[in-house]
Amino acid sequence: MWKMKGLVSVVLVAVGVIGNGQTQTSDTIPDTTPPYLEECLDSLVNKWYVNKSATNMVLDSIHFDETIATKALPDSVYIQRLADIMSPMPFTFNSKVKAYIELYTIKRRDQVQTMLGLSDYYFPMFEEALDAKQMPLELKYLPIIESALNPKAYSRAGASGLWQFMYYTGKQYGLNIDSYIDERRDPYRSSLAAVDFLEDLYSIYKDWFLVIAAYNCGPGNVNKAIRRSGGERDFWKIYYHLPKETRGYVPAFIAATYAFTYAKEHNLHAQASKLPVATDTIMISQPLHFKQIAGVLNVKENYLRELNPQYRRDVIPANKKSYPLRLTFNHAAEFAASEDSIYAHRRDQYFANGKLVSNPEYTKHSPQVPKGKATVYYTVKSGDAIGLIADWYDVRTSDLRYWNNVRRNLIKVGQRLAVYVPKNKTDYYAKINNMSYAEKQRLSGKTVSTNQPKKTAPEPEDANYVYYTVKSGDNLWTIAKKYNGVSNTDIMRLNKLNDESKLSIGQKLKIKRKS
């Protein structure tokens, strides 16, 4: 916002605020459409947005050749319709406003219909923020002029998001902007900030059209225009003292409101968008990558980006505070039921040693082989624990964890672990992977009578709890996933297990209280 990035960086159509039954007409503005008008509008509505959804890019001018043979209406019709729109903002009808109305309803029909479809998702957020401050709901049309409802719109001046906040203005109004998150792109958070900013501007000017002009070019430019006009505080009277781009901003706003209000009268119909109308928010309490969510919920990453455009690197950086994740109602319910599994899914690949891996698809943790050592591999089997494996290979548990990115001693059946052993004993250690449990225990001087760890007498079952019988290949993660609202830590707590505990086939585990 400011630096005249509104119309210049827009993506499509402008829709603005109009009338309170006191429509004014004026011919003080020349009966010509500014030569930059269509160029600016073309730069707003890029069809890549419809086909590929919101993606990062600097908005450039795109030329549309199509022409629509739709007749313009008599001025009296426009004047009456504007007067019929209930709004606290008085508006003017003149040749400039008319030029924009005809642009939206005749020349740029496809773009307007695209925006009508997107508005079903975004407008409720804007209206809620405006209503909370008892401000004119027609201000919801500002983001149409600013960004064409593209949350990732980015102007050459550096403005970003639906409301096109500049960096320092966004920070001033409480938006978090860093390497991982840009809340200027968050539809909900940026709407709250924009409403606060508009409220502050109104406390200065007490005139909504001057507020809208100041939102576009900044209070400094509006103040200069007021001084140069001899103290006039009416948009149309300071019109020629405003920056060139801002002169078209208010007329575009008025005309856009007209176009959206009377879309059906002009045979304009919303094009369906891929954005859901109903969504829910999950608060994320630890770092999470979009690929982890997509892998468990079976959704596309681009879908997550569209609903959560504020996350710059597909990462929710929830280290010291929680952050919101927006999903459809169904996916939000699925997330809640599988939360532990989502956090655990391929975690070492994306957050090795608790830190984000820069290129998780290509960069895997593989420390250099220590001098004089060779690599052998061990496949985790049921009943194994990280401490036992380290004991069998005569290495430190901390080294084994480091070599394989193991966090909190959590390993899974079938997981392949790399172990660095002396080169002259490679053959000896390579055989361990195929040994029975009893044979491996003898390596460390421990003996057992069977190939399973010695079992203790099971506790009698409590009729108030649900139990599960351990099967071959089970581990705490897979068992917890079978029960809604149960995590691996819940099972460990109920059964007095720890990270070193082993499961045995036939073992009875207490899962949860019966409802």
Give 486-508 pLDDT, tens digit per residue: 888 888 888 888 765 678 888 89
Task: Kindly tell me the burial class for residue 297, based on how many C-beta atoms sit within 10 Å of its own C-beta (0-12, 13-18, 19 or more).
Answer: buried
CATH of the domain spanning 465-513, picked from 3.40.1410.10, 3.30.70.20, 3.10.350.10, 3.40.190.10: 3.10.350.10
**Which of 118-132, 147-161, 443-457, 460-474: highest mean pLDDT?**
118-132
Choose the weakest-confidence range: 17-26, 351-360, 404-413, 463-472.
Answer: 17-26
In CATH terms, are 373-443 and 465-513 the same topology?
yes
Tokens of 384: 């194994």
Give the model's confidence band at 209: pLDDT under 50 very low, under 70 low, under 90 confident, else very high. very high
What integer pLDDT is reported at residue 305 of this predicted model? 94
Residue 165: enclosing H or E segment and its boundaries? none
pLDDT(238) > 80: yes
**CB 511, CB 486: distance < 8 Å:** yes
Fold of 5-266: Lysozyme (1.10.530)
pLDDT(440) > 50: yes
What integer pLDDT is reported at residue 156 of this predicted model? 82
**CB 163, CB 180: distance < 8 Å:** no
**Which of 32-41, 58-67, 491-500: highest mean pLDDT?**
491-500
Any idea what the Cα angle at residue 383 is, between residues 380 and 385, rounded to 5°? 65
β-strands 153-154, 57-58 pairing? parallel
**CB 94, CB 26: distance < 8 Å:** yes
Determine the Cα–Cα distance for residues 389 and 414; give it in Å rounded to an integer. Answer: 14
What are the backbone angles phi and psi of residue 128, rounded to the nearest 5°?
Answer: -65, -45
- What are the boundaries of each domain within the chain? 5-266, 279-354, 373-443, 465-513
**CB 193, CB 173: distance < 8 Å:** yes
Give the model's confidence band at 121: pLDDT under 50 very low, under 70 low, under 90 confident, else very high. very high
Q: Is 385 strand, coil or helix?
A: coil
Residue positions counted in the chain = 515
Q: Which amino acid is at 340?
A: D
CA 71 → CA 102, 104, 352, distances in Å? 9, 13, 63
Radius of gyration of the chain (CA): 32
pLDDT(284) > 70: yes
373-443 is a CATH 1.20.1600.10 domain? no
**CB 418, CB 411: distance < 8 Å:** no
CA 463 → CA 230, 467, 488, distances in Å? 86, 9, 21
Give the model's confidence band at 371: pLDDT under 50 very low, under 70 low, under 90 confident, else very high. confident
- Burial track 455-469 (b if 16+ CB lie within 10 A, e otherwise): eeeeeeeeeeeeebe
Ramachandran region of residue 206, left (φ > 0), alpha (ψ -120 to 50) or beta?
A: left
Tokens of 156: 């050459």
CA 360 → CA 292, 329, 341, 351, 364, distances in Å? 11, 29, 19, 8, 7
Q: At what angle do helices 187-205 and 219-228 cross, to 10 degrees?
A: 20
Which pTM does this prediction carry?
Answer: 0.62
pLDDT(9) > 50: no
Q: What is the DSSP string of 11-74?
A: -S-------SS--EE---S-SS--TTHHHHHHHH--HHHHHH-S--EE------------PPPP
Determine the Cα–Cα distance for residues 207 and 237; give it in Å rounded to an integer. Answer: 13
Give the model's confidence band at 67: pLDDT under 50 very low, under 70 low, under 90 confident, else very high. very low
What are the backbone angles phi and psi of residue 378, rounded to the nearest 5°?
Answer: -130, 135
**Which of 132-141, 454-463, 492-501: highest mean pLDDT?**
132-141
Determine the Cα–Cα distance for residues 323 and 310; give it in Å rounded to an integer. Answer: 11
pLDDT(33) > 70: no
| Nearest residue to 419 (alpha-carbon basis) of 439, 437, 401 | 401
| Nearest residue to 134 (alpha-carbon basis) of 231, 202, 72, 187 | 202
